[in-house]
């Protein structure tokens, strides 16, 4: 089972690659509202990349709730607990 800080580090890498932004610029409040690269198409890519990286399935509800970096950490941590 991954620890929360490991999830955070792995998600930073995923967000950095998908959104094409430096990992050190990724803060908990990163969202489509303050990241111009986070558009609807990249949101789909984020969901896919997160699912692949963590080997989890995100429900439609979780995909819609994924609206900030912090929400992604929370969603993945919960999914990993549920799947673990």
pLDDT band of 84, cuts 50, 70, 90: low
Instruction: Give the model confidence (pLDDT) of 24-55 as tens digits.
Output: 999 999 999 999 999 999 999 999 999 999 99
Looking up tokens 């991954």, which residue turns up? Answer: 2
Domains within the chain, CATH numbers bracketed: 4-83 (1.10.1200.10)
pLDDT of residue 57: 93
Those residues whose C-beta lies under 8 Å from the C-beta of residue 62, and which sit 6 or more positions away, are 75, 79
Q: Note if the pTM is more than 0.85.
A: yes
């Amino acid at each position: 089972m991954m620890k929360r800080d490991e999830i955070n580090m792995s998600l930073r890498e995923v967000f950095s690659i998908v959104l094409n932004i430096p990992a050190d610029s990724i803060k908990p409040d990163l969202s489509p509202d303050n990241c111009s690269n986070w558009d609807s198409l990249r949101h789909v890519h984020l969901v896919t990349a997160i699912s692949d990286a963590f080997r989890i399935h995100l429900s439609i509800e979780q995909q819609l709730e994924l609206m900030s970096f912090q929400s992604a950490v929370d969603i993945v941590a919960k999914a990993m607990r549920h799947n673990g």
